[in-house]
Chains A and B, each alone.
Chain A
Amino acid sequence: MKNLFNPKYYILPLIAFSSLFFTACEEEDDEPLIETRIVEESVPRYQASINFKEKVNGNDLQMNTNNKPYTNAAGQSFNVTRLRYLISDIKFQKADGSSFTIQGYHFVDATDPADDTYMPDAKVPAGDYEKISFTFGFDREDNVSNAYPALNIANWAWPGMLGGGYHFMQLEGDYDSLGTSKFFATHMGTARNNTVSPTTYEANHFEAVLDTAISIDGDFSFSIVMNVEQWYEDPYQWDFNVYNAPIMPVYDAQRKLFINGPSVFTFE
């Protein structure tokens, strides 16, 4: 008769059982969770490399010039000393209405070459897309105070008293006002309207559509160009003497940027 209590019958199960715990330990530290893919595995995905350029009247933006090399539609000469802006959720749309969105944001400081290129983690499925669009700033869902450490440390928050969330843009410089140099700070974010009661806080992001078809069958790159002068002329002609600084609490200024914004960006 077999002796069921003989240790040799326990040693192997004991080792096997113990090894479960070793595996459990390792799994937590090293093994990434297996990602569930929504898109069919058969469609290959490719890396986007998106460049950001800033231009004025078709020429590369020159910053920190001693003179005022640019003129707005209202005939006021100006220069640019600082330009920072935020875009999010780049969307690739097909003719059949389906789309793929790169969730996430990119922050550009025009003086920092490191910000010129955005290499999103998410890869784009191959295919023929009819147009590319993106959100300028954050939509309501993403525009959450304190949520993004890299933006917080860049002093990018939009004041709570104006609705909170984040700046979408800081475009600063000097303009000429009857021979005197004056400062303007075209800062954009949530539009507070305190002329109504109760005060409203209107989301001020917009969708910028780059009307261009793109066929993706490999890693690809394109440029998003901000045409700075367009902030100040289409359709509203911007008068720096009316809207210089501060404009963050000025509802009309915020809404004019919202309306002028969509024509600012072009594809290259």
Chain B
Amino acid sequence: MDRLYLLLNKMKYYFKIIFITVIALLGACREDDNSDLIIEREEPHNNDPGEPTPYTFQVPAHFSRIGAPFVPQDNPTTVEGVALGKKLFFERKLSRNNQISCASCHKPEASFNDPGKAVSIGADGTTQGIRNAMPLFNLAWTKITNSDFNWHGNAESLEEQALEPVVNPLEMQESWPNVVNKLKADPDYPRLFNEAFGTVDIDSHLVVKAIAQFERTLISGESRYDNYINNQSNGPTLTAQEIRGLQLFINEDKGDCAHCHGDQSNPLMTDFQFRNNGLDANPDSGLAAVTKNPNDIGKFKTPSVRNLVFTAPYMHDGRFTTLEEVVDFYIDDIQESPTLDGFMRKKRELTSQERADLVAFLKSMTDSSFTRNPAFRP
């Protein structure tokens, strides 16, 4: 009997091992699919932080209509890179006198725009820029190839775009060697660069890579309009007036805004094209300054029409204070010039009620959860 008892006990022991092994292996399977399980990681050594953690984009469900964000192969988005990029975005050491950061003209509470200013002021507090600061969101869907950033398309990528403001005499008025020296002398940055990029050897290219990673995380798609096109599944949607405005926005007979500013299949609300929208009879050079092609004179990037309530004044030079003025301009005041876009040469006829409906619709694309998102604050 004693012997049998011992054997049974042994059996129990081995069944326990089998049971634990099976559970552990099932768990291993689950780990791939599901991030619920906490994965213990070895503490990194001082100089070897290990591989950075891949970053998961927080994307509204209906953005699946436009596919995954475009991320350049040589700058994958990581948790550590995004955190570093955010710190750098709010870092005043990027300017000559340590007075302004990217966020000074791209304020998170204003959809990363400089509200109320037609043009922004440089680091010295007096020098004025020449173009309205662009709001920053949903930039991760600008194609990697054939993508042109800034109003006049002079930067090929987000990374390249971030190089320029630092040295622009109208903006941060600094030099990259100075910025790099300031960051190297900082108690935190060498460690943060090491975590994000595996090196303490900070240079301008790593700085802009980190900033671009942060900028790609700025995703905005939770307005009442989004609730409406997202099958009205969550939260308040559009009023009757706003729905009328949406129809005017799409209808080729009426506003015909959608050909350039997107529709319900394209939540970005831009076509990424450069167009002369008829602001002036003798337009600013625009894209032609980059391409040297006279056919591109007066062409500027089509901006997204999201979050407009945060970003007045409007147009590349901030000439219009209100959305009512913008809508009236497109209907009543288009200026002819040789490169004027065809869609602008079409006569639009909208009653005052229709104009009000259109403005109401534009204001429905307001995403306050984006402008209040603590993940985008320092």
Q: Which of B17, B256, B263, B342 sits near A157, CB closer than 8 Å?
A: B263
**Which of B62-70, B93-101, B160-168, B200-208 forms part of the interface with chain A?**
B62-70
B295 contact set on A, CB distance < 8 A: 64, 66
Query: Main SS of chain A's interface residues?
Result: mixed
Decide: B66 and A152 in contact? CB cutoff 8 A: yes
Decide: B18 and A14 in contact? CB cutoff 8 A: yes
Binary CB contact string for chain B from 8 to 29 against chain A (1 if under 8 A, 0 otherwise): 1011001001100110011011
A22 contact set on B, CB distance < 8 A: 25
Decide: A25 and B32 in contact? CB cutoff 8 A: yes
Identity of the chain A residue whose Cβ is nearest the Cβ of B29 in the assembled complex: A25
Decide: A183 and B342 in contact? CB cutoff 8 A: yes
Task: Report if A246-B25 is in contact (Cβ < 8 Å); known contacts: A157-B263, A157-B266, A161-B247.
Answer: no
Binary CB contact string for chain A from 61 to 88 against chain B (1 if under 8 A, 0 otherwise): 0001010000000000000011000000
Q: Which of B10, B250, B260 sits near A159, CB closer than 8 Å?
A: B250
Decide: A155 and B64 in contact? CB cutoff 8 A: no
B253 contact set on A, CB distance < 8 A: 246, 249
Interface residue tally for chain A (C-beta within 8 Å): 46
Interface residue tally for chain B (C-beta within 8 Å): 43
Binary CB contact string for chain B from 245 to 285 against chain A (1 if under 8 A, 0 otherwise): 00100111100101110111110100100000000000000
Decide: B32 and A157 in contact? CB cutoff 8 A: no
CA distance A81 to B299 in the complex (A): 14
B346 contact set on A, CB distance < 8 A: 183, 245-246
Q: Closest CB of chain A to B343's CB: distance in Å?
A: 7
**Which of A36-44, A142-150, A196-204 forms part of the interface with chain B?**
A142-150
B189 contact set on A, CB distance < 8 A: none
- Would you call B145 an interface residue if the criterion is a C-beta within 8 Å of the partner chain's C-beta atoms? yes
Task: Report if A155-B263 is in contact (Cβ < 8 Å); known contacts: A28-B29, A249-B253.
Answer: yes
- Would you call B377 an interface residue if the criterion is a C-beta within 8 Å of the partner chain's C-beta atoms? no
Decide: B65 and A146 in contact? CB cutoff 8 A: yes
Decide: A114 and B10 in contact? CB cutoff 8 A: no
Identity of the chain A residue whose Cβ is nearest the Cβ of B344 in the assembled complex: A183
CA distance A18 to B64 in the complex (A): 38
- Would you call B130 an interface residue if the criterion is a C-beta within 8 Å of the partner chain's C-beta atoms? no
- Would you call B90 an interface residue if the criterion is a C-beta within 8 Å of the partner chain's C-beta atoms? no
- Would you call A97 an interface residue if the criterion is a C-beta within 8 Å of the partner chain's C-beta atoms? no
CA distance A247 to B8 in the complex (A): 85
- Would you call B141 an interface residue if the criterion is a C-beta within 8 Å of the partner chain's C-beta atoms? yes
Decide: B342 and A174 in contact? CB cutoff 8 A: yes
CA distance A17 to B23 in the complex (A): 12
A64 contact set on B, CB distance < 8 A: 295
Decide: A7 and B14 in contact? CB cutoff 8 A: yes
- Would you call B7 an interface residue if the criterion is a C-beta within 8 Å of the partner chain's C-beta atoms? yes
A174 contact set on B, CB distance < 8 A: 342
Closest 5 CB pairs of A and B: A149-B67, A246-B252, A183-B342, A21-B25, A157-B265
* Extra inter-chain contacts (6) besides given A5-B11, A21-B29, A173-B342, CB under 8 Å: A10-B14, A155-B259, A159-B250, A161-B251, A183-B342, A247-B252
Interface pairs (9), CB distance under 8 Å? A145-B264, A152-B65, A152-B265, A159-B258, A173-B342, A183-B343, A185-B343, A245-B343, A246-B256
